[in-house]
Amino acid sequence: MTRENADFRPETWVLTDGKQGMVNQCLGLAEALGVTPSLRQLSIRQPWRSLPPQLWFAPLKSLAADSAPLTPPWPDLLIATGRQTVAPAMAIRRRSGGATFCVQIQNPGVSPSHFDMVVAPRHDRLSGPNVIQTHGALGRVSPARLAEEAARFRTGLGDLPGPHVMVSLGGDNGVFRMTEAVIDQLGAHLRQLVAETGAGLLVTPSRRTDAALGQRLRTMLHGLPHLWHDGQGDNPYLGWLGLADAVVVTGDSVNMVSEACATGKPVFVVDLEGGNAKFARFHDALSRDGLTRPFRGRLENWTYPPLDDTAMVAKAVRDRLAERSA
């Protein structure tokens, strides 16, 4: 099969540091492109992992023993994200003589000219001729996937009354803190919502949700119609996104908020303590564009075109690969 063939499916690598949010962004783009990538999780030795990418003089020799290998033949398409992948991705592009089309997701912290395409959320304020700006994070949420997962988990709702409201919980990160005060207010607002609407809740904590705070909220929801995913069995996250009539999501995760907005359903954002200017720009833009509203314990209905950054970026990649093949 040649590059001139219209059915050409590029040999694709995905480079990540193993963080699930990063992996999902890369896999989401690969799936939208219709390719099955080789997933390569990197583990970097010191001192390289503590240095900026510009100081890695031999990136392909920086790998630890437990890292996925990076050796030729080089792929046609490289999709990478995360600080630890920046220098290796640049090195692969150089070693391939430019034959590898390199897509770096998120601001790489170096000039975008080192890559064929950089995909960065607009709140990063990164620009350039090869920079694609997105509303938020790429992901694996699509109408087809939501429908498929909804069908798989529908019977699990049992007699849970509607409307169904999904509650997606994050937790502490570098700029936000989930505190007892936040949980107490969220619990009070959820009790108010159920009292006013009779809604059934679908609650999904994340890996970052503090166990004690999660239990605190669960205690507050006692007696209310709800399902709580405790981490056992199949993860219903995408299925519940597909089944929910509205989504309540904590504002600490660009990924989770972006995934909620990819449903086209009402999305209510829960404020956590802390924050920074970039997160403020992200949330302000989604609110201004009519995708999200703050959660105050009330259920409102509105519509908007589902956020579809992943499909938009996939089209841009296809177009650029087609130009190279012409």
The class of domain 143-294 in CATH terms is alpha beta
**Other residues' Cβ atoms within 10 Å of the Cβ of residue 95:** 16
Instruction: Give start-end residues of each CATH 3.40.50.2000 domain in the chain.
Output: 143-294
- Return the residue matching tokens 């970097």: 44
Q: What is the DSSP letter of 157?
A: G
Q: Assess whether the previous peptide bond of 47 is cis (omega < 30° from 0).
A: yes
Spatial CA neighbour of 81 closest among 142, 124, 128: 124
Supply 255's token pair: 């990924």
Q: Residues 19, 43: contact at Cβ < 8 Å? A: no
pLDDT of 9 reads 80
Give the C-alpha separation, 248 to 218, whole Å.
15
Is 83:62 a contact under the CB 8 Å cutoff?
no
Ranges of residues in the chain whose predicted pLDDT is under 50 = 1-6
Cα–chain center distance at 120: 12
- The H or E element that residue 295 is part of is none
Q: What is the pTM of this model?
A: 0.89
The Cα–Cα gap between 208 and 20 comes to: 12
pLDDT of residue 41: 95
From 1.10.3470, 3.40.50, 2.60.40, 1.20.5, which CATH number describes the 12-135+309-325 domain?
3.40.50
Predicted pLDDT at 305? 94
Sign of CA dihedral 170, 175, 179, 182: negative
CA 104 to chain centre: 15
